[in-house]
Amino acid sequence: MKYIYSLIFIVISALNIYAQKIEVFTDFNLGLISHQPLKTFHEGLAEEIPFNNVKTTDNYKFNYGFSVGFKVNRIKTSFFYQNKVTGAKSSTADFSGYIRLTDELKASTFGAIYEFDIQEFNKGSLSFGVKGLITSSELIVKSESEISNSIENSILNFKSIDFGTGAILIYRYPIKTITLRAILGADFYLGGKLKFEEIKDAHLLDSKGNKVTTGWSGLNLGVGISIP
């Protein structure tokens, strides 16, 4: 939490310093075509559940989250914090109980976007940006079961730091005092190791012995608002 408080402090300070020269924004983000390594990993895990009728209902189909940030107009650069989550789930349940295997991937990303204005429209404008990203991810692999009053739980936590870059198109459409934003982008990450929290130097490997990475690379869609 500490870093969150630090962040809040920075943001507030920045807002105050650049009160008249910045644009504050927030977006809702949806990510697609990502997390292939984790998909494979989860499928492998799900297959090992020794029960019939285990169904994988979620498997990193998309990720979603939000971004908050601000754009310093003078330098055409936005700074933002992005929080995204995705996950996978395999389960089966009946009157006698349930078995659940869930992977939840949470990421906090700090990034910066340098924008180029491409075109002005009658109403709104389109810009192109280049991103630099640093993402802290936490993978929580949780298995839970309760069958005939027998309860079993286990949670494994992994963490990784990933660095990435990306390209982004931002369409802005002002309405009265706010501006609507629509975003289309693509991220490219160099995946880091998913380190096991409890054991030093241990990290997640797939069945072939390759490291499993978070796989945040993918398409991004987003809508949001900004306040100039």
Tell me which residue of 69, 169, 50, 64 sits closest to 118, measured CA to CA: 169
Q: What is the DSSP string of 158-196?
A: EEEEEEEEEEEEEEEEEETTEEEEEEEEEEEEE----EE
Residue 119: CB minimum distance to other proteins, A: 28
- CB of 53 or CB of 119, closer to other proteins: 53
CB of 20 to other proteins, least distance (A): 11
Taking CB under 8 A as the rule, does residue 218 contact other proteins?
no
Is 140 exposed, middle or buried, given 0-12, 13-18 or 19+ CB atoms closer than 10 A? middle
CB of residue 179 vs other proteins: minimum separation in angstroms? 13
Q: Restricting to residues 109-168, which ones interact with other proteins according to CB under 8 A?
A: 145, 147-148, 150
- Shortest spacing between CB 122 and other proteins, in angstroms: 25
Length of the chain: 228
Q: Restricting to residues 75-104, which ones interact with other proteins according to CB under 8 A? A: 81, 83-87, 89-100, 102, 104
> Do 144 and 152 meet the contact criterion of CB atoms below 8 Å apart?
yes
- Does 64 sit near other proteins (CB under 8 A)? yes
How many residues bind to other proteins according to rule CB under 8 A? 50
**Which residues on adjacent β-strands are paired with residue 77?**
72, 114
Q: What residues numbered 183-202 form the site for other proteins, per CB under 8 A?
A: none
CB of residue 193 to other proteins, shortest distance in Å: 22
Binding site for other proteins (CB under 8 A): 4, 7-8, 11-12, 15, 19, 24, 26, 50-55, 57-58, 64-66, 68, 81, 83-87, 89-100, 102, 104-106, 108, 145, 147-148, 150, 177, 227
